[in-house]
Amino acid sequence: MLKTRGRPRYDQEDAGAAETFRGIGEKIQLNRDNAAPLWVQLRNQIEEAINTGVLAANSRIPSEQALCDFFGVSRPVVRAAIGSLSNGGRVIKMPRKGMFVAAPREHVDFMTSNLSVFGDLTAKGHFVSTRTFEFYRCPPSEKESSVFGIPETGSVVRIGRVYMTDGAPITLTHISLPGHKVPGLETVDIENRSVFQTIRERYGLTVLRAERWFTAAMPTLEEAERMGVAPTTPLISIESIAYDADGAALEYYQALYNSSVARIHMSIEQSSSTNG
């Protein structure tokens, strides 16, 4: 049986987390004779502490070195265990802040509905906030001109913002709107407001349907910084075109979505007339 007792060398920052881990350390037993590798044993038992509520959501996890000292194992063992928990969405690594137990993941239905991320999560009772980093009118790019069917002499309104649910960044989105349909929008205060709601109330514009495409993506250093994730964090890239009641493109956006904050939910129903 691997000995896991003794006072570890925690720094002041990890003192609170150390007390919590000291309690669960009485129950965690790592056995070198077990067929399962040490990192798997450590990972599974930490996850069990999360599942049973012993480690509460959003609680801080001590540093890798502190965990090494506490459980009497090497850094590769701890790194593999925490890395696996992080990849599974059970632990969040925040650059320059530390490691934390992830809150239970909600899901969003905006992928298959007419609601936005803002509207879907708000409807579920979450506090949704935004951080806008760009908001201006300019000539359209070739892609925007093609999507909206406007000439190069026309304009688009671009909005770059990070959406957060209960304080956790969930998407980084670049939104484009056809300028002739939203005159003066760039002068409106849209912070912490849904873009769809704003254009509906101000211009009477509503979205009837949307087409969306998904790919895997890695963030740039700037994108990772804005979303508060490591540059090695895998994200979901979304490209979307939303159409109004007349079938005209009303919104084009490209987004990076962090599925460790909220899963994507899709409901598929087979028609009774379908054979197969």
Going by pLDDT thresholds of 50, 70 and 90, the confidence category of residue 274 is very low
pLDDT at 162 over 90: yes
Residue appearing with tokens 């987004």? 255
What integer pLDDT is reported at residue 41 of this predicted model?
Answer: 82
Interval 51-98: pLDDT, tens: 777 788 888 888 888 888 778 889 998 888 888 787 667 788 877 778
Going by pLDDT thresholds of 50, 70 and 90, the confidence category of residue 30 is confident
Q: Of 27 and 162, which is predicted with more confidence?
A: 162
What integer pLDDT is reported at residue 73 of this predicted model?
Answer: 86
Poorest-confidence range of 17-26, 163-172, 202-211, 255-264?
A: 17-26
Interval 231-247: pLDDT, tens: 888 999 999 999 887 78
Residue appearing with tokens 């979450």? 126
pLDDT at 164 over 50: yes
pLDDT at 251 over 80: yes
Task: Output the CA–CA distances (angstroms, integers) from residue 52 to 24, 55, 57, 117, in the order listed.
Answer: 11, 8, 11, 30
Nearest to residue 104, comparing CAs of 195, 165, 43, 186? 165
Poorest-confidence range of 49-58, 127-136, 150-159, 238-247?
A: 49-58
Residues 204-225, mean pLDDT to the nearest whole number: 89
Poorest-confidence range of 15-19, 52-56, 249-253?
A: 15-19
Residues 165-175, mean pLDDT to the nearest whole number: 86
If DSSP states are collapsed to H, E and C, what string results for 13-80? Answer: HHHHHHHHHHHHHCCCCECCCCCCCHHHHHHHHHHHHHHCCCCCCCCEECCHHHHHHHHCCCHHHHHH
What integer pLDDT is reported at residue 3 of this predicted model?
Answer: 45
